[in-house]
Structure 1
Amino acid sequence: MKEITSIAIGGFDGMHIGHQALFNELGCDGAVVVIDTGYANLTPHEYRKRYTDHKIFFFNLEDIRHLDGEGFVKLLCKEFPKLQKIVVGYDFHFGKDRKYSYDDLKELFDGEVVVVEEVKHNNDSVHSHKIRAKLQLGDVKGANEFLGHNYTIVGEKIQGQGLGSSELFATINLKVKDFLLPKEGVYVTTTRIDDEEHYHPSVSFIGHRVSTDGSFAVETHILDGEVICKEKAEISFVDFIRDNEKFESMEALKEAIQKDIAKAAKELKFLAL
């Protein structure tokens, strides 16, 4: 922390294009300070580190929420003794009961305070709560545009029904914690297995298996051949294909999945061109 001269402060769940506008104001000795509320579900915990080259430091909100404005600034100056610049968003509030704004920060901090104005995409202001809403509607393309990257979840491999490999198509079944899951349905995705560096083209399902046992599942089918998943996988969402549906026969379900695979393969091939 001793070499840091500038910091960007915020919750930064999603690390979206609005957040990136703050990071762009940091110098080479800049860092990102996350006020962690414990409610981040787009990029929970350390996953924020994937979306910036700057160092990230986490402050737990419960540990600092009692501080008044002066106490908060003193804490920052103590943690970052060479601090010269603080970057915040136009809607930034801090201190007990969030009663202090960037105007107070300018009075309390001796260095430079940069206030980044509202970032818009297609004339719509970019916020994490809007990204969550888009994902819950299945609008992953819209969410990705706001994020500036494909929305990605990480899950632990678990045992599935066993129907995939025997009667349908082999899938990797995941238990996903902490991440917000998009709307139930079928998606064009890419999937990264364990610690591989690359992503495989895939089609993924999220929802209750209404055509079989009714259980909830997050599962992904790899399009470029069978792979062995030992511990975990990451699913990155590219587009929404269809809602979760109930099929009257295994044959009808299999036919629908074949169409899903064809759509996913076509779109991913187009994107790769």
Structure 2
Amino acid sequence: MRVIHGTTEFELEEKSAVSIGKFDGIHLGHQKLLHHILEQKEQGMKAVVFTFDPPPSVFFGRTEEKELMTRAEKRFAFEKMGVDVLIEFPLTVQSASISPEEFITDILAKKLHAGYIAAGPDVSFGDKGAGNYVLLQALARELGYEVQIIDKVYFYGKEISSTYVRKELAKGHMETVTELLGAPYGISGTVTHGNRFGRTIGMPTANILPAASKLLPPNGVYYSEVLLRGEVHKGITNIGYKPTVSDERQLGVETYIYDFHKDIYEEEIVVRLLAFQREEKKFEGKEALQEQMARDIEDGRMFHLKKM
């Protein structure tokens, strides 16, 4: 996949099928949109995803929200889906003031040679976000592209959106988050050395430090699975500050992987959260923590057995 980042000077050589959006989380609604541009690859078009960097809500100071997916996670997901070109369009005072008409004619038609555009009914672009699907449709014949407005996807009567995913994540409702995303919520990172407490009691954990921009669910213990070297391993994960064994306030994600004994320090893994087990808490001492960890691990084994 070709990634165009940090520049407004680009031009594709072939006709493209384009989808515009923030794509935070790449939930089922996003996936429906992306499915349509990926279908156009069979017609010889390049599948192009157009995003803004930073997102408009961040650029205009309306929010400093953390992301459901980091930039690296999005890139990996888009490439895995089959996207040919990802554009992370730099949002500046100048680029944000482009008129909606200029955005369509100069960027979509001229630079991307768009032959097909898939958009949701709430798509917006151009100065003050004034561009919408009506304008896309109005200029379609003149500029030689087809526009398809993709209906929203609903879950039990409620529209799936990044906001919906965020609210469920904040509650620790990981099963619902999985339904909305079409896959468990993932946290990627490099396995690093922790305080080795788990190793001293025969319960070694793989520790990662999530990106500062990554949105996390409430601190606590989760049933999980780990993607490593193309394989999936069952596990149980703690998100938190290790209040019993450390006074440091560094948020970490540590996972005990069942029946796993390999050295994976400095390797990239993805921890996927399946269900919430219990809240994070401080124990009276390390012995009490060890006993709870043993119970957690046994509960996790039962959870995974039931899912088989």
Q: Could you tell me the TM-score, scaled by structure 2's length?
A: 0.81
Q: SS state of the match for residue 191, structure 2?
A: strand
Matched, 1:54 2:90: no
- 1:237 CA displacement: 0.9
Aligned equivalent of 2:269? 233
Q: SS state of the match for residue 90, structure 1?
A: coil
1:34–1:47 CA distance, 2 compared to 1 (3 A):
farther
Counterpart code for 1:21? K
Q: Residue by residue, what CA displacement relative to the aligned partner does 1:18-75 show, whole Å, maximum 9, x if unpaired?
A: 0011122222235242313335722222422425222242232415322111111121
Unmatched 5+ residue regions in structure 1? none
Aligned equivalent of 2:102? 71
Q: In the alignment, which of 183, 187, 205 is matched to residue 153 of structure 1?
A: 187
Q: Residue by residue, what CA displacement relative to the aligned partner does 1:216-264 show, whole Å, maximum 9, x if unpaired?
A: 3221111122221131321111111111012113222122112211222
1:179–1:34 CA distance, 2 compared to 1 (3 A):
farther
Aligned equivalent of 1:206? 239
Aligned equivalent of 1:9? 20
Aligned equivalent of 2:63? none
Aligned equivalent of 1:179? 214
Q: Which moved more, 1:128-137 or 1:138-147?
A: 128-137
Q: Residue by residue, what CA displacement relative to the aligned partner does 1:113-168 show, whole Å, maximum 9, x if unpaired?
A: 11112211111111112212222221111111111111111112222112111136
Q: Which moved more, 1:107-116 or 1:51-60?
A: 51-60
1:34–1:264 CA distance, 2 compared to 1 (3 A):
farther
Counterpart code for 1:204? T
Counterpart code for 2:189? G
Aligned equivalent of 1:191? 226
Give the 5 Å matches for 1:211-230.
Answer: 211-215=244-248, 216-230=251-265
- 1:202 CA displacement: 0.8
Identical residues among aligned pairs (%): 26
Contact kept, 8 Å, 2:49 with 2:83, in 1: the verdict is no
Q: Distance in 2 between the 1:192 and 1:233 partners?
A: 6
Counterpart code for 1:71? E
CA RMSD of aligned residues (A): 1.9
Q: SS state of the match for residue 152, structure 1?
A: strand
Q: Distance in 2 between the 1:214 and 1:140 partners?
A: 28
1:169–1:122 CA distance, 2 compared to 1 (3 A):
same
1:251–1:168 CA distance, 2 compared to 1 (3 A):
farther
Contact kept, 8 Å, 1:23 with 1:32, in 2: the verdict is no
Aligned equivalent of 1:91? 122
Contact kept, 8 Å, 2:27 with 2:162, in 1: the verdict is yes
Q: Distance in 1 between the 2:301 and 2:178 partners?
A: 19
Counterpart code for 2:14? E
Give the 5 Å matches for 1:127-138.
Answer: 127-138=161-172
Q: Which moved more, 1:32-41 or 1:59-68?
A: 32-41
Aligned equivalent of 2:7? none
Aligned equivalent of 2:60? none
Q: Which moved more, 1:60-69 or 1:218-227?
A: 60-69
Q: Distance in 2 between the 1:32 and 1:151 partners?
A: 24
Q: Distance in 2 between the 1:205 and 1:140 partners?
A: 14
Unmatched 5+ residue regions in structure 2? 1-11, 56-65
Q: SS state of the match for residue 165, structure 1?
A: helix
- 1:78 CA displacement: 1.9
Aligned equivalent of 1:34? 50
Deviating above 6 A after TM superposition, structure 1's stretches of 4 or more consecutive aligned residues are: none
1:32–1:42 CA distance, 2 compared to 1 (3 A):
farther
Contact kept, 8 Å, 1:12 with 1:34, in 2: the verdict is no
1:172–1:59 CA distance, 2 compared to 1 (3 A):
closer
Q: Distance in 2 between the 1:32 and 1:15 partners?
A: 15
Aligned equivalent of 1:249? 285
